[in-house]
Copies of this chain bind each other. A is one copy, B any other.
Amino acid sequence: MGVFWSRGYHATALPDLLRATKLSRGSLYAAFGDKHSLFLRALDCYIDDAVTRIDIELDPRKDPVDGLRAYLAGYVDRTSGAHGRRGCLVIATTMELAGHDADVNRRIASFFKVMEVRVADALSRAKVAGKLADGVDPAIAARILVCFVEGLRVISKTAPTGAITHAAADALLDRFIR
Structural contact, B91 and A95, CB atoms closer than 8 A: yes
B contact residues around A112 at 8 Å (CB): 155, 158-159
A155's contact among B6, B150, B152, B155, by CB below 8 Å, is which? B150
Q: Considering the complex, give the chain B residue whose CB is closest to the CB of A176.
A: B175
User: What's the Cα separation between A92 and B7 when bound, in Å?
Assistant: 13
Q: Are B95 and A171 in contact (CB under 8 A)?
A: no
A38 contacts partner chain B, Cβ-Cβ < 8 Å: no
A96 B105 Cβ-Cβ under 8 A:
no
Please tell me if the beta carbons of A144 and B155 are within 8 angstroms of each other in the complex: no
CB atoms of B157 and A98 under 8 A apart: yes
A94: chain B residues within 8 A (beta carbon): 154, 157-158
Known: A143-B164, A158-B108. A99 touches B85 (CB 8 A): yes
Residues of A138-158 at the interface with B, using a CB-CB cut-off of 8 Å, are 139-141, 143-144, 146-152, 154-155, 157-158
Q: Is there an interface contact between A167 and B8, defined as CB atoms closer than 8 Å?
A: no
CB distance from A126 to the nearest CB of B (A): 16
CA distance A136 to B96 in the complex (A): 36
Contact of A147 among B8, B86, B141, B155 (CB under 8 A): B155
Within 8 A of B (CB), among A8-66: 8, 10-11
Verify A171–B96 contact, CB threshold 8 A: no
Q: Could you list which residues of chain A lie within 8 angstroms of chain B, going by C-beta atoms?
A: 6-8, 10-11, 85-88, 91-92, 94-96, 98-100, 105, 108-109, 112-113, 136-137, 139-141, 143-144, 146-152, 154-155, 157-159, 164-165, 167-168, 171-172, 175-176
